[in-house]
Structure 1
C-alpha cells in the first residue's frame, strides 16, 4: 500500500510517497482504505520535530491523520463499524 511518509525530522524535510506493508489491526481497531487525506499544521509541526520530546515517532513515519475512506477490515471487538462503511 502507499503512504505519505517522512524519513527524518527537520524544516527542509519533504514528505514523500512510499510503499509500506499493510498494517495488522488489533481487536479494537479498524483499517481504512483511504480515498483522501488532509495535512494540517500539526502534521507539519510533527515533521519538523517540534513535538519530538513528547511525541516521538519511529522513522520513517506516516503522516496525515485527517482521512476519508471506506472501512476495509475490522477487529473482532469492533461493533460500531462494518466493512464497507464510509468514514
Structure 2
C-alpha cells in the first residue's frame, strides 16, 4: 500500500511479457477460476504450456496429490534452464 500509495498495485501490461510462459493451475481453485486462467493464458504473447490439475488453492501447500504438479514443475525448470 505504501509503495503504490493505493490499496491495489498498478495493472501490469502483459503485452510486455515476451518470454515463453508456462502456467500451472488447479481446476478447483476458487481464487483463480480455471476459465480466468485460460483467458489469461490465451492473452499471452508467448504462451508455452498450460498444465491443469484437480487441485484447490490450499492443495498447493497441503494436498497429498500435489506431488504430480511439483514433479512437472521440476521437469519444466530442468528442461528450460539448460
State the TM bucket, normalised to the shorter chain.
Answer: under 0.3
TM-score in terms of structure 1 length: 0.22
Q: If each structure's helix is expressed as a fraction of its own residues, which one has the higher value?
A: 2
TM-score in terms of structure 2 length: 0.23
Q: Relative contact order (alpha carbons < 8 A, sep ≥ 6): 1 or 2 greater?
A: 1
